[in-house]
Structure 1
């Protein structure tokens, strides 16, 4: 049976930590779908189509990865596209606590869907998209947190957003 994985998240923006999980998930999945979740309740700095483009660029070296957007419950999306394993990255015990509850809920809703937890590589354990957004909004250097392939693209996106904010105030 083909192992089809789904690594879902907001990826706002994609980080080296995300790419690390994607790279490792490629070794355990025949196909990996990176699902960019669209959640209207979250105020995303980077538009969904931009996040897809960034992820496609950052994952171009992986032949078994595709990137797509989706709305609604991740478990429903996974079932609709034939996924049999959800990939989740864990940076710390707090992540595990939240992810454990989500995995149990997903298993209840879809008994044939497995969840595979991948521990963060230690040098990426502190990296998250919120941190990158905060550093970028303060004019700090975000290069260390982003895949090399998308550094300039992300900087341009943040520069445009900051210009729009300045015009409003």
Structure 2
């Protein structure tokens, strides 16, 4: 099938098998290997990307379902030469160990702050009328779809807080 994906600001025309996931399209058709294939079942979050501004497990969604959609991968969030604020905070707070889950963690953390700015509640948000507070429970709930086998969680939380405080 012929599809058009806007990935990291660039339009791409692809001819893919209808069973191709976004993750496989990114890695195998476009050579964007930042998003990782961890569990391939949507349980680890290593493949998290942003589609139309919302985070999604790219291993669970078919590329043909996102024809004409805007996709942002870790490569589109920043580069080694020009880190995004979240990437820089992960470095500053050692929010990564082996680095395998880091791209998905950073994509998800970026979305967390956007969700909070939009006033979207999570399962643990106490007040559904007011803005959610950036508590440890709130961060843990919102990041619960991203696993880190190296257990860098405290550092990831600090990186998210760091960026949130600078945005405020």
Q: Same fold (TM over 0.5)?
A: no
Q: Which has the higher strand share?
A: 1
Give the alignment's TM-score, normalised by structure 1. Answer: 0.28
Give the alignment's TM-score, normalised by structure 2. Answer: 0.29
